[in-house]
Structure 1
Amino acid sequence: MTMTSTTASKPVTRQVSHHVSQSVFDGSRLRVVLLVDVHDGAQQQFIETYEELRSHVESVPGHLGEQLCQSIENPSQWLITSEWESAPPFLDWVSSEEHVRMVKPLHRCVRDTRSLRFHVVRETSHPAAGAGTARGGLQASPRLGDGVIRHALTFTVKPGSEEAVAGILADYAAPELRVDDTTRLCRTSLFLHGNRVVRAIEVRGDLLAALRHVAAQPEVRAVEEALNPYLEQDRDLGDPESARVFYTRAALPAVHHVTAGQDDPAARRYALSYPARPGCGMRLARLLAERDEAAADDPDSVVLRSTIFQRDDVVVRLVDVRGGLDAAGPAVSLGLPDPGQVAGLTTLLDGPAATDAAAPAGDDLARALEGARMELVTDRRSPGA
């Protein structure tokens, strides 16, 4: 199996671990599918809004083209497909404040939307299509998954409210784990780092169905309402547009996941925060992904699995470690199999963790690990997950 790792200049092909179940960093072309249900009578408004959005996205780096399609069976159902050179430029665009602002008018004329993202594995091209056009590569081979979808939400609370927020998040009744016949909540892990909250979830089945199921639970709604006074970004969960914008900004997608070996019931879960320098979030996430993947091939690795979440300059690494972080050592825990590699990581970090030193001493690595370590609020795992 091979994987294409995209650098700042061009993709390069290298061998990859068969353990990888999810990654946006293989350099292959991306197809984005947006299913849209338009309000009756709003078709013309929808088309006009779409045209304004399309005229802008055409100039976004990495965008190759798109199609707008209307159902031949139900005129309220529309399909937007877009093609991108690779996943990173799309994720940068879709997470930008500019995108949040531009799609706002679109949501006023639709009942519902659903976004799906796929790497292109195989294709058939018509001879007249121009095979020599540079369009990005294909995914070299199918990846192996474990049937679990990983996603996270992140938001900030008002400084000084962290203790109250932790109490609210730790003290709530777990929602019903079974969503429907095919979807089930597997695990929810909540962490705090300063005034930033990260909620990571694992789902078998339909992620969107699971998110809607959780949001509808009375005990969850009560917790969300209790959090509202402490949030730095105001929201009104009774206003669909306010709730949509909040959760759009809070989305923290999983950009890479690797599993190194068999599950260990004694393994402990941790989250590490890597605040990136402005504009360096994707590069930092890619660097961590490459090193986690290399470490996964080491049979002696104590890191059983690692998931990297990234949005803008927020990068979070969730790890399950055999024996705990202290036993693993700061270099391994930070995602640095070789302590000498730390300079490549820290030059992308923002704030106190940043350094230009070639190889900080062990004490400095230990301080870096302590600074990155997030506080566990709660970790709930369903039986048999």
Structure 2
Amino acid sequence: MTTTSAPASELLTRQISQRVSQSVFDGSRLRVVLLVDVYDGAQQQFLEAYEQLCNQVASVPGHVSDQLCQSIENPSQWLITSEWESAPPFLAWVNSEEHVRMVEPLHSCVRDTRSLRFHIVRETGGPAEAADAATRRLQASPRIGDGLIRHALTFTVKPGSEDTVAKILADYASPEPKVDDTTRLCRTSLFMHGNRVVRAIEVRGDLLAALRHVARQPEVRAVEEAINPYLEQDRDLDDPESARVFFTRAALPAVHHVTAEQDDPHAERHALYYPARPGQGMRLAELLAQQDEAAADDPASPVLRSTIFQRDDVVVRLIDVRGGLPAADPARALGLTDPARVAELTELPADGRLADLLERARMTPVTDRRSPEA
């Protein structure tokens, strides 16, 4: 299980840039809220599965406490809240194969779930009133976002099928961008690196509603069915359990987003794939986040926006580059300048030229689509 490379108390002493609209690396405590809809009559089965799960979770590093609550209005509605020392240990656990196995007993009694994650910004009452923010490990200030939620999916295809898969993924009609009155698909960017596919989306509104909306679109369903024979991990989209496990493993959460002060409507979007050494994915993502945060204050930086996605040892950095990637300074575009850290955290050759490392990390663009009103 991976952890951050600096203690939480040290992270909290850093000045939080107003240009960072999303980050899991500030060291503040995390509150996780899981909304659960249980099948009618399965409440006791769910309670027993939860008791088994919570005993296992108690031993996970970074876990502090949890509560199980049942609705006073609808006995099928349950709420699980948990507190964690910080976001990275929770993400390391929830994105692990260990977690996939732990929650398996819940599947037969749960109709639907929704997970929400929050950094703790303020708390009142008891000892909290006398403690300072560093002691309580609170998020120092609210983050100001741009109204977009960023998420990605990643999976691998069978070697030798890359060109076929790329053509399938490029040649389809875009789904209806309007989900409902409050949610809209804004942008979908798809890249490949070898046999790895990464699909990044930007949504305004409710991410879960948008994902479900996309999954129901016939043109998207046809594409998903067309690539099924080429996937390294088998799935059956007609089997809810098979589909759930596949997309659970494919989820690639955004862990950091920063926007520079300047903007350029002609900036090019690129994706970089960083092959992390085993167990070093979270530390690598944190290092890239620190570099991007510093670069956001540099008027000479070609990177105008950067989103870092990370799950286990898969680290992808989506960047909008002014003037194009070939013309950019390799060190600024790559976000890694120290050969020792490159050797420590990645499988990239530490003695390679930065321009060569950038080319090795560069993902091949497949499609980049924006909704007309985005």
For residue 155 of structure 1, what is the aligned residue in structure 2? 155
Instruction: Report 1 or 2 for greater relative contact order, CA contacts < 8 Å, sequence distance ≥ 6.
Output: 2
Asked whether the 8 Å contact 1:254–1:308 carries over to 2, the reply is: yes
Asked whether the 8 Å contact 2:8–2:28 carries over to 1, the reply is: no
Aligned residues: 369
In 2, distance between residues paired with 1:170 and 1:98?
34
Q: What's the TM-score, normalizing by structure 1?
A: 0.92
Give the ranges of 4+ consecutive aligned residues of structure 1 lying more than 2 Å apart after TM superposition. 5-11, 125-132
Further displaced range: 72-81 or 322-331: 322-331
- Which amino acid in the other structure matches residue 267 of structure 1? A
In 1, distance between residues paired with 2:100 and 2:77?
22
In 2, distance between residues paired with 1:136 and 1:72?
32
Matched, 1:205 2:202: no
Q: How does 1:1-385 map to 2 (within 5 A)?
A: 7-12=5-10, 13-127=13-127, 137-336=137-336, 339=337, 341-350=338-347, 353-355=348-350, 357=351, 364-385=353-374
In 2, distance between residues paired with 1:325 and 1:233?
33
In 1, distance between residues paired with 2:270 and 2:4?
28
Asked whether the 8 Å contact 2:192–2:363 carries over to 1, the reply is: yes
- Which amino acid in the other structure matches residue 253 of structure 2? P
Q: CA RMSD in A?
A: 1.9
In 2, distance between residues paired with 1:33 and 1:299?
39
Residue deviations 1:139-170 (CA, integer Å, cap 9, x gap): 00001100000000000000000000000000
Asked whether the 8 Å contact 1:172–1:223 carries over to 2, the reply is: yes
In 2, distance between residues paired with 1:145 and 1:104?
35
Asked whether the 8 Å contact 1:156–1:197 carries over to 2, the reply is: yes
What SS does structure 1 have at the residue aligned with 2:138? coil
Further displaced range: 320-329 or 183-192: 320-329
The alpha-carbon distance between structure 1 residues 64 and 131, as it changes in their structure 2 partners (threshold 3 A), is farther
Q: Offset at 1:330?
A: 1.2
Asked whether the 8 Å contact 1:29–1:135 carries over to 2, the reply is: no
Asked whether the 8 Å contact 1:71–1:77 carries over to 2, the reply is: yes
Task: Quote the sequence identity (%).
Answer: 78
Asked whether the 8 Å contact 2:156–2:232 carries over to 1, the reply is: yes
In 2, distance between residues paired with 1:244 and 1:97?
14
What SS does structure 2 have at the residue aligned with 1:241? helix
- Which amino acid in the other structure matches residue 41 of structure 2? G
The alpha-carbon distance between structure 1 residues 328 and 128, as it changes in their structure 2 partners (threshold 3 A), is closer
Structure 1: gaps of 5 or more residues: none
In 2, distance between residues paired with 1:303 and 1:108?
46
In 2, distance between residues paired with 1:282 and 1:88?
7
Further displaced range: 327-336 or 192-201: 327-336
Q: Offset at 1:127?
A: 4.6
In 2, distance between residues paired with 1:94 and 1:83?
13
In 1, distance between residues paired with 2:306 and 2:163?
28
Q: Offset at 1:326?
A: 1.3
- Which amino acid in the other structure matches residue 348 of structure 1? L
Q: What's the TM-score, normalizing by structure 2?
A: 0.95
Q: Offset at 1:367?
A: 1.1
